[in-house]
A and B are shown apart, each in its own frame.
Chain A
Amino acid sequence: MKFFLNLSYRHKVPLWGGFLIIISVLAVSASFIINAYIQVEKDLAIDSQKLGHSLKLNLFSAILQDDIWRAFEIITEASQRESSGMVSVENILVVDRTQHVLVSTHPRQAPILADMHRLGPELDEIAKQIVQMNTEQQKTIYLADSKHYYSITNIANDNTSLGTLVIVHSKDVFLPLFARNAWNGLLVGTIILAILLPFNWYWGQRMALPLVQLAARMAQLGKKWPDNLDPDLYEYHDELGLLFESYKQMLNDMRNKKALEMQIVQSDRLAVIGQLAAGIAHEINNPLSGMLMAIDTLKHHTDLSPRTTKTIALIVRGLNQIKDTVATLLVEAKMNSRNLTPQDIEDVLTLISPMSGKKSLHLAWHCCLTEEVALPSTFVRQVLINLLMNAIKAASTQGEVACDIIIDNEQLQISVSNDGKMLAPEQISHMFEPFTTFSEGGHGLGLWVTYQIVSQMGGTIAAKKEANDHMNFTVKIPLGGRL
């Protein structure tokens, strides 16, 4: 039993349904068969009693006139008649009031004037029951362990009884009739089963499969992100449908939460890195400025040997490189920038056009900016140039780079995409960190700077894969954002 209860709903629901259907059909069939049994018994009794009733009056007259031959002809004709098909007469006896045979259809077995009590145990029992019949006119008797059943009719006119008519039927006819009705019952049951069982199987599968899939997905939770449910699995809005809807909603919520967590972690990390980088940059900048000033002072001395002069020049170049790098890390509002105008955007386009021309790229440019907006033009231009240069570098030769600039919901939205190599999710998660490069020759600070600018202006930057397998970077900066 436990084994059965532990079975999958996929098997349990159809099996339970099938079991219940079979039990129901068996119960209905059994009821049908029992009813058929009772009905056949009843019909046979009624048919036999009708026969007895129809013979009674003719026999009364024949017995009254002691016309044995006519009585014999009456019962012989009746025993040979083709009745309604229900009743088949095996023997008919007419007995007088003392249960002696007046006439029978089988005179050798029941000769005239033979004592019915001596014609075998069955007829003896019938004779006893005839004696016990008081006012009853007709009776059907089923003897236990007998191959016959008996219909007895009082041959009476008004209150004058001349004897009793005993019609002997063989149960051999009863069983085939019953079997025929029972067979009909079984046939109907089988047809119902043939219709219901496949339907039940389909319905069970239909119910269980979604549950099974849901259970499998739930089991995956905590180990990995489960796949989405098959959208065609269950399209109805009953309780089961609501369960699946809730599961989908829960899964979405969990995914969103996870993404949010990831974003927060990344933001925090980038913020820490930014602070660290800015701190280091400041710490380097101060001694660096001192070193550069000291070397500049040193260069003004004339007694320097050529070797020293060469070395000083080398140190100055190195220190300047450090300064440039540190300056890049340290994104600061070094100046008061004017507001962004459409001309700034056009300038950027002019600036990057030669680069895109070298790779024969198709540059899809779409700018909705028509007037000045309250954003520092210097930084926005830097962001736009960074994104476009990255896109041009990443795009394949004769590929496509698209740039879409719109004002939406009080935000400047810059969307740049390219048809180049897709970045892996792992790469995307670290792409805004400093010194993360995906191309040869890059120092890995472009996206870092972009990120720093955007985030310091209160905006967001996101990378995603587009439906046409293009890599897309979208920057959103709220209008009025300042460093």
Chain B
Amino acid sequence: MKTLLRLFTACFFLLIAMNATSEPFRLGMTSATARGQYPLLEEWRLYLQQKLNHPVTFVFRRSYLECMDLMEQNKLDFAWISSPAYFENVRLSNLLVTPLYHGKPFDLSYLIVPASDHDTASLLNLKDKVFAFVDPDSSTGYIETNYQLLLNNKNPENFFKKTFFTFDDQKIVAAVAIGLADAGSISGFAWDTLAQSRPDITSQTRIVLQSAVHGLSPIVARATLDRHDTLAMQRVLLNMSKDAEGIKLLTRLNIDGFAPADWKLYHNDYLMMQRTGHL
């Protein structure tokens, strides 16, 4: 019995040791999802590491596309990306969780112009203007605008005089506020979050239009990732809203928590992508 107990104890410590030295979970982030909150993200990483009892690293890339490239190369286990990025590489990953904003997993696309622009009332007023997008794979920051132009029989390729990407929702606000771009499309969730921390910047812009709802950017898991690990991460994320420390972090991330991701939530995005030729 004593020998068995010793063997069991040895196995236990061996497992802990193996666990401790095993490869960390790599969670991919883009500038759009990170939103410049790097100290907060570090606290979140430590939180996840503690809850998972497994090392976690965050990998930052500029665009959703770069994140998905890493995932394709098995260099990411999880990624917080946009739904178009997910749909473009649907076989690479599985939807894991969706953030909840105001209790719902929905986001909007805002069409913003400089506050000094009192004339623009619709997207169609922005013909031959300079327009700023977030990311070519952003539903709220790119697909939605193109979709709306197509709905109005406008060619997104030449409707604007010039377009550019900032790869960060907050930078869209800055680009529009200083007049670099005449208008931009941005995630409503990102604009609202920025309005809380930097109202001086958002006040220099004016929301012209709000789109129909989109699903908030999901966190996906690599399709080839061990199911146990996938579920472990999902469980930790879902349970964040159930402990005080998690709630604190969620509050600072300006979300209420995470819900299991459902692809139906992104069905409209999927259709838009099809309509705009992104799929």
- Chain A residues at the B interface, C-beta cutoff of 8 Å: 66-69, 72, 103, 107-108, 111-113
Contact = CB atoms under 8 A, between A and B. Distances in A.
Contacts of A69: 132, 164-167, 171, 175, 180
Interface residues of B, number: 14
Contacts of B132: 69
Interface string B5-23: 0000000000000000000
A108 B166 CA distance: 18
Contacts of B171: 69
A410 B161 CA distance: 133
A68 B161 CA distance: 13
Contact of A67 (B164, B175, B178, B180): B164
Interface string B107-147: 00000000000000000000000101000000000000000
A72 B165 CA distance: 11
Given A72-B175, A103-B180, A66 B130 contact: no
Contacts, number: 32
A72 B162 contact: no
17 contacts: A67-B164, A68-B162, A68-B164, A69-B164, A69-B171, A69-B175, A69-B180, A72-B180, A103-B180, A108-B178, A111-B130, A111-B179, A112-B130, A112-B162, A112-B180, A113-B161, A113-B162
A103 B179 CA distance: 11
Contacts of B130: 111-113
A103 B178 CA distance: 12
Instruction: Enumerate the 8 nearest inter-chain pairs by beta-carbon distance, A residue then B residue, closest first.
Output: A68-B164, A108-B179, A107-B180, A69-B166, A107-B179, A112-B130, A112-B162, A69-B164
Interface string B158-193: 000110111100010001001111000000000000
A148 to B, nearest CB: 21
A69 B141 CA distance: 15
Contacts of B179: 107-108, 111
Contacts of B181: 112
B217 to A, nearest CB: 20
Interface of B: 130, 132, 161-162, 164-167, 171, 175, 178-181
B115 to A, nearest CB: 13
* Highest count of chain B CB atoms <10 Å: which of A66, A72, A103, A113: A72
A76 to B, nearest CB: 9
Nearest to B128: A113
Contacts of A72: 175, 180
A25 to B, nearest CB: 52
A332 to B, nearest CB: 137
A270 B162 CA distance: 133
A463 to B, nearest CB: 114
Contacts of B180: 68-69, 72, 103, 107, 112
B140 to A, nearest CB: 17
A72 B175 CA distance: 9
Contacts of A107: 178-180
Nearest to B130: A112
B162 to A, nearest CB: 5
B94 to A, nearest CB: 32
Given A66-B164, A112-B180, A113-B130, 8 more contacts: A67-B164, A68-B164, A69-B164, A69-B165, A69-B166, A69-B171, A103-B180, A112-B161
Contacts of B161: 112-113
A68 B163 CA distance: 9
Contacts of B166: 69
B154 to A, nearest CB: 19
Contacts of B164: 66-69
Q: Which of B164, B166, B180 has the most CB of A within 10 A?
A: B180
A68 B167 CA distance: 11
Contacts of A103: 180
Nearest to B116: A108
A67 to B, nearest CB: 7
Contacts of B175: 69, 72
A68 B178 CA distance: 14
Contacts of B162: 68, 112-113
A107 B179 CA distance: 6
Contacts of B167: 69
